[in-house]
Structure 1
Amino acid sequence: MESGPDFLRLDTWLWHTRLAKSKSLCGAMVEAGGFRLNRQSVTKAHARIRVGDVLTFMWQGETRVWRVLALGDRRGPPAEARELYEEVP
């Protein structure tokens, strides 16, 4: 049985989580700055994200910290998108 890649582009993963309406908007958000991947600042939409990574960013005036639980195969419904990450307190 063949498995998929062990990483996904950050903009694609954010789009799968339904953070923005389009993949290009997700990429623009990353390139504008303010995202940290495993404590390292990231401004490239093509940054690789893997299961277990921790993503920190500002969203609607609050600092969000998400642990990646899954990469996802598609941009599914909101319930499916919430299974891709967990909020870290």
Structure 2
Amino acid sequence: MTEKGQQDGSRQRIDKWLFFARVVKSRSLAQSLIAAGAVTLNGGACNQPSRTIKAGDRIELLLDRRDIVLVVRAAGDRRGPFEEARSLYDDLTPPPDEQRRLTPFERSQRGLGAGGSGKGER
């Protein structure tokens, strides 16, 4: 049941790798992100979940609250613990910007410094 590229450990499907690296919770979620155009591979669009990746490839994911930039170190064998998954990639994601923590819709709904009402304000 192993794929031909999986035997030598050098190549792997991108949806499978995203799942093994614990970037997404399921392969179907990885497939839907790829279909939506939220994944780029080496600067080019990646629109097929069956696209193979290898060590040294750069993957960029555009998610709702943050963008992730990863460089593939190795193909995964299974979805293991976090420490094992972390060894599959180098994270090049820039630090989060304070203004980008909230989505544009959330920023428009909240005024600056407008938190929940405190006990003294009631």
Please state how far the C-alpha of 1:60 moved relative to its aligned partner.
4.3
Of all paired residues, the percent bearing the same amino acid is 36
Query: Is contact 2:9-2:74 (8 Å) kept?
Result: no
Please state how far the C-alpha of 1:84 moved relative to its aligned partner.
0.6
The RMSD of aligned alpha carbons is 1.5
Segments of structure 2 that go 5 or more residues without pairing to the other structure are 1-6, 95-122
Q: Distance in 2 between matches of 1:66 and 1:56?
A: 6
Counterpart of 2:86 in structure 1 is 82
Between Structure 1 and Structure 2, the one with more helix by share is 2
Q: Distance in 2 between matches of 1:12 and 1:86?
A: 17
Q: Computing the radius of gyration over CA atoms, which structure comes out larger, 1 or 2? A: 2
| Partner deviation per Cα, 1:21-42 (whole Å, 9 max, x = no partner) | 2212211111111211000011
Which letter maps to 2:69?
V
The 5-angstrom pairing of residues 3-42 of structure 1 reads 4-42=8-46
Counterpart of 2:53 in structure 1 is 49
Q: Distance in 2 between matches of 1:19 and 1:5?
A: 19
**More relative contact order in 1 or in 2 (CA 8 Å, sep 6+)?**
1
TM-score by length of 1: 0.87
| Partner deviation per Cα, 1:43-78 (whole Å, 9 max, x = no partner) | 111111110000011234222110001111111111
The 5-angstrom pairing of residues 52-67 of structure 1 reads 52-67=56-71
How many residues matched? 87
Segments of structure 1 that go 5 or more residues without pairing to the other structure are none
